[in-house]
Amino acid sequence: MNPHTPFLAPMSFERSGLLLRPYRPGDGPELGQAISGSHHHLRPWLPWADEQYSAERGEETARRLGAAYLAGTDFTVGIWLDGKLAGGTGFHLRGAPVSNGIAEIGMWIREDLSGKGLGTRVLESMLDWGFSEWPWERIEWRCDPRNGASARVAEKCGMKLEGTLRSNMKDVDGERRDTLVYAMLRSEHTELREHQPPSGP
């Protein structure tokens, strides 16, 4: 893509009852409830997962993330399953411009919907969306080596483990930890889809 041409991000992706879209004003109460109700499930990996995540804080977060999406500085989306907020994901730039062609996918799933294959469905959808309607040439997935569920989701979707960043971050308790780096290239996604159609109906 031309680095001088403003990038207009796609506004949604739908597949079999799954809707990925940026947060909007009014999403705050549901976002706050999803995070606070999943505190024990999310907290080991996500320091912002507060047990007291109020509707007001959720609304502030929803508006801030929605504004960043429209501004093109970061692309966080809510995961809506049959009309219910099931979690969050997004294409994160980590300070690089869109024209760099690289994004990192992050994800969280609310506790009452975890362990049911939803994370795999969402990542598969994000990869399909990212390599069709977005300009990404490389999509990354990073996780704590202790988060086996996160690593398995990446592997199920065909992402390749490229290596381990040693002691590159602090965990929620302030202890140094490693980070696994998975990635998929546009060419690899094309080849994968030619031989392995999406698992969803």
pLDDT the model gives residue 3: 56
Residue 1 per-residue DSSP state: -
pLDDT, tens only, 18-48:
999 999 999 999 999 999 888 778 877 777 7
> Is the entire prediction scored with pTM above 0.85?
yes
The confidence band for 1, taking pLDDT boundaries of 50, 70 and 90, is low
Helix (H) or strand (E) run with residue 143 in it: strand 138-143
CA distance 162 to 65: 30
The pLDDT of residue 189 is above 60:
yes
Q: Which residues contact 95 (CB under 8 A, 6 or more apart)?
A: none
Backbone angles phi, psi at 30, to 5 degrees: -70, -35
pLDDT surpassing 90 at residue 100? yes
Task: State yes or no: pLDDT of 191 exceeds 70.
Answer: yes
Residues in contact with 29: Cβ distance below 8 Å, sequence separation at least 6, in sequence order: 55, 58, 59
Could you tell me which residues come within 8 angstroms of residue 132 by beta carbon, excluding any fewer than 6 positions away? none
- Give residue 201's pLDDT: 43
Q: Is the confidence at residue 69, as pLDDT, over 70? A: yes
